[in-house]
Chain A
Amino acid sequence: MSEPFRRVPEGIALDLPESLRTWLAEQAQLAGEDAVRMDDPVHRRILGPINPTVDHDDPLDELQRQFAIEGALAVLITTAHTEVLSEEEAEDWIRALQLILAATAARHALHTEDDLAALNQEATTAVTTLQAGISLLIEALDG
């Protein structure tokens, strides 16, 4: 079986099933939409306060964070069906996979290891798929 992420001279080659690529792009889109809804648990998890000792964070910090998050998710969405990622795109994929993972955790109110153990089968598959992707991509990038 070929490796899902493999280093090649141009960057990182992707060998992922089309269904997985489509699912990842959909999840990235969903994470981005949920992250900007103030009352959504995904917003609280991904865009929670930087400095909880004050009422409002520095607007510049908030803006930079929002750009970074939206940028990484956008890269995954636009390159979901590509064959080879550049180094920068691969780094954005790690960020995006992490953001999708955090969004999934927030939707299922995963705060502890016990919460994780009690998760339903579908959500467990989503979490383990994302974790495996992050792990394999790190290996390909740094290995």
Chain B
Amino acid sequence: MDGTDTGLYGSTDTLQRLDSPWDVVLWNDPVSLISLVVRVLRKLFGYDLAKAEKLTMQVHNEGKAIVWTGEKEKAAAYCVALHGYALAATIQPTA
């Protein structure tokens, strides 16, 4: 589908892509404690214990989990914060 030309700002397709959500992916590592990961998820994202534990176990059992989805800049900031606790995290465009 062709987007509407908006001059210097490109087509509406481009604008759509800029606004598209991004995922914060948390990866498993063999040394970080489950209690630490749960604590960090609660502290950074404000998740309740049940949600933080569920995501942590998903990381542990499946190797990774999408722990947050939203605006790209915010996703990058969350990723930086996770790296501050030496947790392996990346961002990616939401599929």
Interface residues on B, range: 20 to 34
Query: Does B85 lie within 8 Å of A98, measured CB to CB?
Result: yes
Q: How would residues 93 to 113 of chain A score, 1 for a CB under 8 Å from any chain B CB and 0 otherwise?
A: 011001101101100001111
Number of interface residues, chain A, beta carbon within 8 A: 36
Main secondary structure of the interface of A (DSSP, over half): helix
Measured between beta carbons, the chain A residues less than 8 angstroms from B86 are 45-46, 95, 98-99, 101-102
Is A68's CB within 8 Å of the partner chain B?
Answer: yes
Q: Which of A47, A50, A99, A105 contacts B30 (CB 8 A)?
A: A105
Q: Which of B32, B84, B85, B90 contacts A52 (CB 8 A)?
A: B90
Query: Does A64 lie within 8 Å of B92, measured CB to CB?
Result: no
Other 20 A-B pairs with CB < 8 A, given A49-B90, A51-B90, A113-B30: A46-B86, A51-B76, A51-B79, A53-B92, A61-B77, A68-B81, A68-B83, A72-B84, A94-B36, A98-B87, A99-B86, A101-B31, A101-B86, A105-B30, A110-B31, A111-B30, A112-B30, A116-B31, A131-B31, A135-B36
